[in-house]
Amino acid sequence: MNPLLHIENLSVHAGGKALVSDISFAVAPGERLGLIGESGSGKSLTALATIGLLADGLKVSGSVLLNGRQVVGARDRDLVPLRGATAAVVFQEPLTALDPLMKIGRQVGQAVRRRAKRDGRPTDATSVMSEVLDLLDQVALPQPQRIAESWPHEISGGQRQRAAIAMALACKPKLLIADEPTTALDVTTQAEILRLLGQLVRERNMALLFISHDLPVVAGTVDRVIVLRHGRVVEQGPVSTVFREPSHDYTRSLVAAARAFDNALENAP
Amino acid sequence: MTDTNLVAASPEGRTRRSWTFTIGAIIVGLHLVIGLSTLFWTPYDPTGMSGGRLEMPSLSHLAGTDRLGRDLFTLIMIGSRIALVVGTGAVIIGGLIGITIGLLAAFASRTLDDILAASLDILIAFPTLLLAMLIVASSDGASLGTAIVAIGIANSAIVARLTRILAKRVLRMDYITAARISGTSWLGVVAIHILPNIWPTLLVNLALQFGLAVIAEASLSYLGLGAPPPNASWGRLLQEAQGTVYTAPFGAIAPGIALVLLVIGINLLADGLRDIGDPTRRRRR
């Protein structure tokens, strides 16, 4: 089967400095891949590069094939249809992921309408609204009707993140890119969102590119993991292998640090 | 728990208006009604003598008469119409040019953005009035139209700079990226996300520009560069009253009061509009 996302020798430069160098990996349809590394290791840049949304000043080289289409060097106009149909992103900060001046229902409705138009389905207010409510229900938001009528500032951070996930789902993507989707949430909400993401990805047979710096979070969510450091791949493989028998020093220190943190928590009074 | 309370609180908040909006609307509405009524009716003939020269305000002449014996209140009413026309025209011209340039700069490449930003800064460094005078002087002759265009262009630089900065801030938000990913074109992003988000701030600034435009037109008329004589602009009334300001001060005070009232009214209205337009401010008491 052809990979959904095929990245080869991807490098991102800013003013002569390499931010991401020579990264290659592939994501098969339905596969769940984790990108982990510390802040500034190039995780988010890699994610943005896969959909051709890097800032202007950054120079990209290498090859990114998204659903068989070349993203690097492509014109923005050609990428617009590709993006919506293939990939969607859930962001780290639920506060800025929603337009503060648009009710949740309308906001999710935008994405639903765009997708419906592309599929040639009816885009009248009633059918869009019923799909919006359906989506809000699927991301386990209580009282979808009420949430749809709310402004973003009126609901909690966890609910906002669920609404953002509903927006991403509205695109019916083949690949869901989750850029640290739980970092800004408290631990309980984090677990709920992770369970929800895992369930949705399984149900819809989406591929998942999960970006995080949090080892336990990644370990529970994905099948395969890539460890980045200073914009380079230091290790990759199935989650169990990488975390149980890390071969690279950096991964080993990451695992050790996470373990030390766990122990400290357990020993705490 | 808190969510339900917040949501329940919003429907009533939606209809509530702030007092600034009410007062502003009353003042501006009054000017609007008075200004428009002069198209059909004025208390006295604005060009003919209707009483003695330089009369004090009385019941028959609410603002007294000028040195030609014309009723000042009638002239101020007409001035109100001119002020509103100038303000509206200048804001529309300045807003259209300014918002377009500002959005272009926000989306432009680094170099083009730098060039635009620098030229805007240079343009803003010129006093608005000086710029408007230059434009009026370089056109065929002083008329209401040239005054409106001149003030509009002069004000557009400030609108453009504000639009550019506001749009850039919104552009950095994740929801813009999310919209782009879900396949929205740049034009769609502008219409759906950027304009609504920068609108509340922009609206307040445009109202401020309206007030400034009214003042700028009065200044141009005062200098003889505004609307030519048959149009009784407030600035011209002020200028005509200048010679008799010690013997009949009301000739200068009355149009001055009208001018100040309109500008204050517009600013209050703008403030109220922002509170209504921004959902996060609605709950505030």
Q: Tens of pLDDT along B35-67?
A: 888 888 878 777 777 777 777 777 777 777 777
Q: What values do phi and psi take at A33, rounded to 5? A: -115, 135
Mean pLDDT to the nearest integer, A59-76 = 84
User: What's the confidence (pLDDT) of residue B277?
Assistant: 67
Contacts of B185 in chain A (CB under 8 A): 80
Contacts of A102 in chain B (CB under 8 A): 192-193, 196
Asked if residue A18 is part of any domain, the answer here is no
Q: Tens of pLDDT along B111-144?
A: 899 999 999 999 888 887 888 888 888 887 777 8
Query: Per the structure, how many domains does chain A have?
Result: 1
> DSSP assignment of chain B, as one string?
-HHHHHHHHHHHHHH---HHHHHHHHHHHHHHHHHHHTTT--SS-TTS--SSTTPPP-SSSTT-B-TT--BHHHHHHHHHHHHHHHHHHHHHHHHHHHHHHHHHHHHS-HHHHHHHHHHHHHHHHS-HHHHHHHHHHHSSS--HHHHHHHHHHHHHHHHHHHHHHHHHHHHTSHHHHHHHHTT--HHHHIIIIIHHHHHHHHHHHHHHHHHHHHHHHHHHHHTT-SS-TTS--HHHHHHHHGGGTTT-THHHHHHHHHHHHHHHHHHHHHHHHHHHH-GGGTT--
**Residue entry with tokens 């141009």:** B220
User: What's the confidence (pLDDT) of residue B90?
Assistant: 94
Q: How far is CA B278 from CA B159, B193, B205, B273, in A?
A: 20, 14, 15, 9
- Are A88 and B182 in contact (CB < 8 Å)? yes
CA of A44, closest CA in chain B: separation in Å?
13
> Could you tell me what percent of chain B has a pLDDT over 90?
26
Q: Which of A51-55, A153-157, A211-215, A254-258 has the highest mean pLDDT?
A: A153-157
User: What's the confidence (pLDDT) of residue A21?
Assistant: 86
Alpha carbons A126 and B162: distance in angstroms, whole number:
38
User: What's the confidence (pLDDT) of residue B249?
Assistant: 83
User: What's the confidence (pLDDT) of residue B230?
Assistant: 67
Alpha carbons A190 and A94: distance in angstroms, whole number:
12
CA of B115, closest CA in chain A: separation in Å?
17
Contacts of B4 in chain A (CB under 8 A): 146
Task: CATH number of the domain at B130, please.
Answer: 1.10.3720.10
Query: Per the structure, how many domains does chain B have?
Result: 1
Contacts of B7 in chain A (CB under 8 A): 146, 149-150, 154
Q: What is the pTM of this model?
A: 0.77
Tell me, letter by letter, the H, E, C secondary structure of B230-252.
Answer: CCCCHHHHHHHHHHHCCCCCHHH
Q: Please, what is the average pLDDT of chain A?
A: 85
User: What's the confidence (pLDDT) of residue B28?
Assistant: 92
Count chain A–chain B contacts defined by CB atoms under 8 A.
95
Asked if residue A100 is part of any domain, the answer here is yes
Contacts of A100 in chain B (CB under 8 A): 197, 279-280
Alpha carbons B134 and B117: distance in angstroms, whole number:
22
Domain that holds residue B87: 12-38+71-284
Burial (CB count <10 Å: 0-12, 13-18, 19+), residue B71: buried
Q: Tens of pLDDT along A133-165?
A: 989 988 888 889 999 999 888 888 888 988 998
Q: How far is CA B54 from CA A42, B72, B237, in A?
A: 79, 9, 13
Where does the pLDDT of residue A1 fall: very low under 50, low under 70, confident under 90, or very high at 90 and above?
low
Q: Please, what is the average pLDDT of chain B?
A: 83
Of B109, B177, B184, the CB nearest to A89: B177
Asked if residue A212 is part of any domain, the answer here is no
Asked if residue A117 is part of any domain, the answer here is yes
Asked if residue B52 is part of any domain, the answer here is no
> Could you tell me what percent of chain B has a pLDDT over 70?
91
Asked if residue B275 is part of any domain, the answer here is yes
Mean pLDDT to the nearest integer, A73-98 = 81
Encoded tokens for A265: 């928590």
The contacts of residue B103 (CB under 8 Å, 6+ apart) are B163, B164, B167, B190, B194
3-class DSSP state of A137: helix
- E-assigned strands of chain A? 5-14, 17-27, 32-36, 58-66, 69-70, 87-90, 175-179, 207-212, 224-229, 232-238
Asked if residue A266 is part of any domain, the answer here is no
Asked if residue A167 is part of any domain, the answer here is yes
- The whole-angstrom distance between residue B255's C-alpha and the CA centroid of its chain comes to 18
Where does the pLDDT of residue B163 fall: very low under 50, low under 70, confident under 90, or very high at 90 and above?
very high
User: What's the confidence (pLDDT) of residue B5?
Assistant: 46
User: What's the confidence (pLDDT) of residue B285?
Assistant: 39
Q: Is the pLDDT of residue A30 over 50?
A: yes
Domain that holds residue A107: 94-172
Q: Is the pLDDT of residue B253 over 70?
A: yes
Q: Is the pLDDT of residue B280 over 70?
A: no
Asked if residue B1 is part of any domain, the answer here is no
**ipTM topping 0.90:** no
Q: Tens of pLDDT along B182-196?
A: 777 788 889 888 998
User: What's the confidence (pLDDT) of residue B10?
Assistant: 45
Asked if residue B43 is part of any domain, the answer here is no
Asked if residue A181 is part of any domain, the answer here is no
Asked if residue B48 is part of any domain, the answer here is no
Asked if residue A136 is part of any domain, the answer here is yes
Q: Is the pLDDT of residue A84 over 80?
A: no
Asked if residue B63 is part of any domain, the answer here is no
Q: Is the pLDDT of residue B13 over 80?
A: no
Of A57, A111, A168, the CB nearest to B110: A57
Query: Which residues, in sequence order, are bridge partners of residue A64?
Result: A7
Q: Tens of pLDDT along B116-125?
A: 999 999 988 8
